[in-house]
Structure 1
Amino acid sequence: MTVRPKHHSVVAAVYSLALTLLILGPLLGPGYLLLRDAVSTPRSYLTDSALGLTDAAARAVPQDALIAAVSTVVDGGLVVKALLLAALWLAGLGAARLVRALLPTAGLGPQLVASTVMLWNPYVAERLLQGHWSLLAGYGALPWIVIAGIGVRRAQPGAWWALAASLAFAGLTPTGALLGLTIALVAVASPGGRTSVLRRVSGVFALFLITASPWLAATLLSSGAADGSDPAGVAAFAARAEPGLGTLGSLAGLGGVWNSAAVPDSRTTLFAAVGTLLLLIVVLSGIPALWRRRRNPVVTALGVLALVAVLAPALGATPWGLVVGRWSVEYFSGAGLLRDSQKWVALAAPFYALSAAAGVMWAQRRFTLPRPTWSIAAVVVTVMALPDLAWGVGGALKPVQYPQSWTVVAEQLRGETGDVAVLPTGMFRAFSYTGDAPVLDPAPRFLPLDVLQTGELIVAGGSVGGEGTRAAQVEELLLTGGSSIELAALGVGWVLVELDTPGRSDDAALRNLERVFADNYLELYQVPGDVALHQASASARIIVALAHIAWVMTGVAALLVLGLNQNRIRLARRDKT
């Protein structure tokens, strides 16, 4: 049965959804995502931390504020799952649409191959295992940003609105916003087009300032805005060579995340080299065909971007690259955002998908086998390159059920004042109900008050310091038996003890505190006396809140305009028939 071209979009959408469901698998069952950096909770709150107005870097802005707002009416765990599902589905569908935009003669088969390459690769697997679900929103927006950029170059109606919607979705995290800005500039700044390059570039920057305004405003207004990142983080978070591959080979295969524990099992053996070779065979087969299309400036620009996206993190992991990286984070505030260098290899993925589709098209023309043969073969080879991405990355993505004590403590703290300190110290936990992988402490997102954390990360070979100076002082008091008066002076009104996890702790600091709740999982203590309030100013909260509203409204307005335009097009076509 032949699928008509007008149905290609429907098939590509269904296929991408099927792949997404196969990848996420068990995570879509009842429960919450709690794996390494990923934390979802039934409800979260618009604290200063959620708005990025503490002395820690605003890394989870605006995602935390968005979830806090939406989780007042919808379970927060469902919100996170829906956003992750949408991110991966849009990544696959966007890759198919990108092929249609840049390779107009491509049939359904090459489009589906592009979707497969965009979804079924080590980058997606490793970021899921690291818990970077919101970063994948930026990843999923990349092909759509390129498509919108092509429309802007051609002065197509609604193209700027499409670009605004795509950049808003990418802007769920600071990294996603920067990924979106980079690929948007590459698409619109290429020579040619029906409008001036300066006008296009200016428009992209204007949209970026709006869609990235939540974390830009938070960074400028937060108490830790002037603090730099720990230079030790540059080496700790550099791209990593996987078995049988150098750093460059790992990155070329869209792998090489810094955390060796956050990789699928197949990437911990020499099969990593085999899988990378299989993926690159599919991708590189289309390079000659795309070379013949080099007169299309967008194709050329995407190819150059892919090359830079692979080479730059590889150079950053060399000795001299690490020296440059340490210098930059030491002297430039905000440069710490660049230290997880492997995440930028996402910029190569759209070209990889396009090249894989071009390779299938070349094989269909060159050989006399039935046309679907090459598409099926490319899909099979891509999946074989990473077989354990299926079903929650080999079952690692499993929903977690919180003990009821978390909800009881959250209710106890509603309407109260003072910040919360936590024991054991540190940001990561190993609860009995979360499996083998470490998980980020859910307290900052579960509780309605700000939770003080230093931001220090324990990594192989040492630790990477955070930005929280007041939190570090509080932690020192808790570990040395400091008095309740000292805790209150630092703004601590409550101390939460998480019993079901190892870590550094000292009961001496709890002796003069009032225990208000206790069970097998949690103990909550209240600090007596007058607690000094450490809060962001009202003006800072208003400015950051307005930035969040601008971000949301830009995305919503863009989607509404695009929907109305599509409806007008359908009505016009109906009138013609």
Structure 2
Amino acid sequence: MATRSGAAGGEPGAPGLRPWAARLLPWAVGLLAGGAALGPALGPGYVLRYDMVFVPDLSLGTVLAGADGFPRAVPSDAVVAALSGLLPGDAVQALLLLAVFAVGGAGAAVLSARALGGRGPARAGVLAASAAAGLAYVWNPFVAERLLLGQWAMLLGYAGLPWVVGAVARSAVVRPAAGFAGLVRALVPAAVGGFSSVVLAGLTAGPVAVLRTRGAGAPADGPTPRPEAEALPEGPGGRWWVRTGLLLLALLTVALPWLLPSLTSGAGTDPGGVEAFAARSDTPFGVAGSLLLLGGVWNSGAVPPGYGEPVTAAVRMLLCLMALAGWAWSLRRARPAFGAGLSVAAAVGLVIALLGTTAPGREAVAGLIGVWPGFGVLRDGQLYVAPLALVQALGLGAAVLWLAGSPADGASAAPVVGARSRGAGGAPGGDGTATGRAGSPASSVVLWRVVVAVFAGLLPVVSLPGLLWGAGGALAPAGYPDAWLEAQRVVAADERPGAVLVLPWSAYRGVDWSGRPVVVLDPATRLFDRRTVWNDDLVVGTPDGGAVVVTGEDARAREFAALLRPDPATGLPESPDAGVLAGAGVRYVAVSAPVDNQFWSGVDGLSVVVEGDDMVLIEVQDQHIKADKAHVPGLEVTGGLVTVGAIIWSMARSGSSLVFQCSGPSSGPGARKEIPK
């Protein structure tokens, strides 16, 4: 007896999740994964690690004033500053970190469900598969290593990739205006993430726009496919050049806050960073194998605890092979519209990731940087395995569906969510399927397959336990010392113009405020509500024990280095000259490390206003400081207004937000009629 749900004959129904619960499940998976991964990082205090620097009361004016290099952090810092006006800084940090897991996990789960389940009722097997895909997308070495590098903004853009892929696929069956609005909404995480995030979005979604295929159905020897969203009639966006143009326009729109000022920044990019930031092996499988497993980050300090050991690496390789096999099975069975394009994006991303590992590849990237400094984004090769991470996540979801027993292989372990049916006893029962007695061979097979599918779905956690609970405590929060907060208040209360010079002349500090020493970008560079000058050179260790200095992008910092002539051992000028500092427009000097008071004692024109164990604030007492007038650059304002306006328009047009955006065309009762007639 058939179920009322309209599922395919012989496909069991079951009392399960209600439709609203099925829609919330992807978000629940992401939130649970985020809670388990972040753990103590969600508590009071600030998590400081490498590039992740949050400070109390971040000033929007400071963000917009920026530095003279590429304004990479303008969008993310501007969002943090805006949110800090409503919430405490540590609450903003916890919210944004959790958003990485929630948005990413939900996006991959929704995209997986659309690819595997079509537009019909949600089957329990498809829901389980989509949950596995969501978990795999946010629980992998790529996320763990980038999180331990402190690159939360880039990870937020990574979290939005599934939404962008879905929006590109959807743009083929709606009017161009609706397609553009959907793309802008989906690119909101990339807009916040900034430079690298927008580049990743373009790499991932570009091939999807060009190579999108219509859902043509299953192969001749396979079963009749269920109705797919991709099989709907195509609209004006069905032409590849229309989709590609809409995507490029949307990418340009969300990139304006950093793109416009970068054109006049005069920043340079050191080609020497190509070798320094090249992917490295962090597993027994070499560099290529590490990248295939979504690892291979250039910084050994960002490798999660226990990762790369023979046992966990072997489990991770098994998971990778299973995911790739599942992706191939999904391409053959479901034929998702984005399948070919996403496969190409993953392959191209892997090739880019490998460029820095060979001499010809390094020469090619260095040559591109010589032509245009913006190609410096290619230096960090491991970044480009992000599309492969999405492919593997969707592939694992497909593998779980197959293991659980999908209708495609003749099994019947995918009940329809919310379906109701009649019958009892040996006839079609309360679950809508002809059931055998408990303990029958069929029941044993189904149970065995379900157990295997559940284990496969949890393999991402099994193969990467080092991400649990703040990476074993590596993401422990801490409070800022009183001297730092006092220095911030003193500078904020001074209305006179003038920059803050941050010493020692080194970008990163070792702090132990959380009880364990960590390396972090000097928080003093963001602590004050005015322009700060600091050394943005980066020292990167090499595998042979040496070090490579990657020259920074801020031209003004290089000018200060020539003026200060700091001691390489201490990072402090041998004899600070108040006249030189005043002539360079410096009002305060913040020494964010323990230092002997002989540094400033006996120097005319300098006075200490705050003194602590690892923070000394020195005022330059020259009344003729040639300070730059405080102003907000018009390019940043223009770009930001256009981007924010476009985002507001895109959301107002549909009356929705990213949270409720579907990855495919609307369907069912009450759906918007956006399919051209």
Structure 1 residue 2 displacement after superposition: 4.5
Which of 502, 505, 515 in structure 2 is aligned with 1:422? 502
**2:211 aligned counterpart, secondary structure:** coil
Which of 419, 425, 432 in structure 1 is aligned with 2:512? 432
Name the counterpart of 1:42.
56
Moved more, 458-467 or 99-108: 99-108
Name the counterpart of 2:46.
32
Structure 1 residue 278 displacement after superposition: 3.0
Structure 1 residue 348 displacement after superposition: 1.5
Please tell me the residue identity of whatever aligns with 1:153. A
Structure 1 residue 46 displacement after superposition: 2.8
Which of 149, 155, 166 in structure 2 is aligned with 1:136? 155
Structure 1 residue 190 displacement after superposition: 1.9
Name the counterpart of 1:185.
206
Hey, what's the Cα distance between the residues in 2 that align with 1:132 and 1:509? 42
Q: Cα deviations across residues 344-368 of structure 1 (Å, max 9, x unaligned)?
A: 2112222111111222222324574
Hey, what's the Cα distance between the residues in 1 that align with 2:478 and 2:636? 32
Name the counterpart of 1:67.
80
Q: Cα deviations across residues 92-147 of structure 1 (Å, max 9, x unaligned)?
A: 11111101222226621111110121011001100110000111110110001111
Hey, what's the Cα distance between the residues in 2 that align with 1:198 and 1:543? 30
Please tell me the residue identity of whatever aligns with 2:235. R
Structure 1 residue 288 displacement after superposition: 3.6
- Give the direction of change, closer, same or farther, for the CA distance of 1:52–1:154 in structure 2 (3 Å limit): farther
Q: Is the 8 A contact 1:92 1:115 kept in 2?
A: yes
Is residue 2:37 matched to residue 1:17? Answer: no
Hey, what's the Cα distance between the residues in 1 that align with 2:507 and 2:591? 13
Name the counterpart of 2:615.
522
Hey, what's the Cα distance between the residues in 2 that align with 1:290 and 1:501? 61
Is residue 2:593 matched to residue 1:499? Answer: yes
Q: Is the 8 A contact 2:322 2:396 kept in 1?
A: yes
Name the counterpart of 1:258.
298
- Give the direction of change, closer, same or farther, for the CA distance of 1:199–1:281 in structure 2 (3 Å limit): closer
Name the counterpart of 2:575.
481
Hey, what's the Cα distance between the residues in 1 that align with 2:585 and 2:277? 32
Name the counterpart of 2:320.
280
Hey, what's the Cα distance between the residues in 1 that align with 2:205 and 2:44? 37
Hey, what's the Cα distance between the residues in 1 that align with 2:212 and 2:105? 28
Instruction: Count residues in correspondence.
Output: 565
Please tell me the residue identity of whatever aligns with 1:261. G
**1:458 aligned counterpart, secondary structure:** strand
Please tell me the residue identity of whatever aligns with 1:188. A
Structure 1 residue 543 displacement after superposition: 2.6
Q: Is the 8 A contact 2:212 2:340 kept in 1?
A: no
Hey, what's the Cα distance between the residues in 1 that align with 2:335 and 2:525? 51
Name the counterpart of 2:276.
236
Structure 1 residue 163 displacement after superposition: 1.7
Q: Is the 8 A contact 2:28 2:102 kept in 1?
A: no
Structure 1 residue 279 displacement after superposition: 2.4
**1:17 aligned counterpart, secondary structure:** helix
Is residue 2:459 matched to residue 1:388? Answer: no
Please tell me the residue identity of whatever aligns with 2:475. L
Structure 1 residue 33 displacement after superposition: 2.1
- Give the direction of change, closer, same or farther, for the CA distance of 1:501–1:570 in structure 2 (3 Å limit): farther
Name the counterpart of 2:288.
248
- Give the direction of change, closer, same or farther, for the CA distance of 1:275–1:125 in structure 2 (3 Å limit): farther
Moved more, 20-29 or 515-524: 515-524
Moved more, 312-321 or 472-481: 472-481
Is residue 2:526 matched to residue 1:454? Answer: no
Q: Is the 8 A contact 1:118 1:350 kept in 2?
A: yes
Map residues 98-137 of structure 1 onto 2, 5 A cutoff: 98-104=111-117, 107-137=126-156
**2:208 aligned counterpart, secondary structure:** helix
Q: Is the 8 A contact 1:248 1:311 kept in 2?
A: no
Name the counterpart of 1:306.
346
Hey, what's the Cα distance between the residues in 1 that align with 2:380 and 2:61? 27
**2:269 aligned counterpart, secondary structure:** coil
- Give the direction of change, closer, same or farther, for the CA distance of 1:221–1:272 in structure 2 (3 Å limit): farther
Hey, what's the Cα distance between the residues in 2 that align with 1:350 and 1:137? 14
Hey, what's the Cα distance between the residues in 1 that align with 2:27 and 2:337? 28
Hey, what's the Cα distance between the residues in 1 that align with 2:235 and 2:669? 25
- Give the direction of change, closer, same or farther, for the CA distance of 1:510–1:268 in structure 2 (3 Å limit): farther
Q: Is the 8 A contact 1:186 1:302 kept in 2?
A: yes
| TM-score of the pair, normalised by structure 2 | 0.78
**1:265 aligned counterpart, secondary structure:** coil
Please tell me the residue identity of whatever aligns with 1:127. R
Structure 1 alignment gaps of length 5 or more: none
**1:286 aligned counterpart, secondary structure:** helix
Please tell me the residue identity of whatever aligns with 1:498. S
- Give the direction of change, closer, same or farther, for the CA distance of 1:490–1:109 in structure 2 (3 Å limit): same
Hey, what's the Cα distance between the residues in 1 that align with 2:535 and 2:350? 33
Name the counterpart of 1:463.
549
Hey, what's the Cα distance between the residues in 1 that align with 2:270 and 2:629? 25
Hey, what's the Cα distance between the residues in 1 that align with 2:354 and 2:602? 46
Q: Cα deviations across residues 227-281 of structure 1 (Å, max 9, x unaligned)?
A: 3211221111111111302111111111111101111121253345324313213
Structure 1 residue 472 displacement after superposition: 3.1
Hey, what's the Cα distance between the residues in 2 that align with 1:405 and 1:571? 60
Moved more, 273-282 or 165-174: 273-282
**2:476 aligned counterpart, secondary structure:** coil
Hey, what's the Cα distance between the residues in 1 that align with 2:381 and 2:41? 27
Structure 1 residue 573 displacement after superposition: 4.6
Q: Is the 8 A contact 1:428 1:441 kept in 2?
A: yes
- Give the direction of change, closer, same or farther, for the CA distance of 1:571–1:299 in structure 2 (3 Å limit): closer
**2:74 aligned counterpart, secondary structure:** coil
Q: Is the 8 A contact 1:250 1:276 kept in 2?
A: no
Moved more, 201-210 or 369-378: 369-378
Q: Is the 8 A contact 1:454 1:469 kept in 2?
A: no
Hey, what's the Cα distance between the residues in 2 that align with 1:168 and 1:207? 10
Structure 2 alignment gaps of length 5 or more: 1-13, 119-124, 214-233, 412-444, 542-546, 565-571, 672-677
Give me the identity figure in percent: 31
Structure 1 residue 508 displacement after superposition: 7.6
Please tell me the residue identity of whatever aligns with 1:387. P
Hey, what's the Cα distance between the residues in 2 that align with 1:76 and 1:554? 27
Please tell me the residue identity of whatever aligns with 2:368. S
Q: Cα deviations across residues 128-175 of structure 1 (Å, max 9, x unaligned)?
A: 100001111101100011111111112279543232112122121211
- Give the direction of change, closer, same or farther, for the CA distance of 1:101–1:80 in structure 2 (3 Å limit): same
- Give the direction of change, closer, same or farther, for the CA distance of 1:243–1:187 in structure 2 (3 Å limit): closer
Which of 153, 157, 165 in structure 2 is aligned with 1:146? 165
Structure 1 residue 60 displacement after superposition: 0.8
Structure 1 residue 535 displacement after superposition: 5.4
Which of 83, 99, 107 in structure 2 is aligned with 1:86? 99
Moved more, 445-454 or 322-331: 322-331
Which of 221, 241, 245 in structure 2 is aligned with 1:198? 241
Which of 503, 513, 532 in structure 1 is aligned with 2:626? 532
Rg (Cα) greater in structure: 2
Hey, what's the Cα distance between the residues in 2 that align with 1:270 and 1:98? 33
Name the counterpart of 1:403.
481
Structure 1 residue 400 displacement after superposition: 1.4
Moved more, 453-462 or 355-364: 355-364
Q: Is the 8 A contact 1:418 1:493 kept in 2?
A: yes
**1:38 aligned counterpart, secondary structure:** coil
Hey, what's the Cα distance between the residues in 2 that align with 1:3 and 1:496? 60
Hey, what's the Cα distance between the residues in 1 that align with 2:252 and 2:349? 23
Structure 1 residue 533 displacement after superposition: 2.1
Q: Is the 8 A contact 2:502 2:525 kept in 1?
A: no
Q: Is the 8 A contact 1:483 1:509 kept in 2?
A: no
- Give the direction of change, closer, same or farther, for the CA distance of 1:285–1:509 in structure 2 (3 Å limit): farther
Is residue 2:542 matched to residue 1:542? Answer: no
Hey, what's the Cα distance between the residues in 2 that align with 1:86 and 1:236? 30
Structure 1 residue 67 displacement after superposition: 1.7
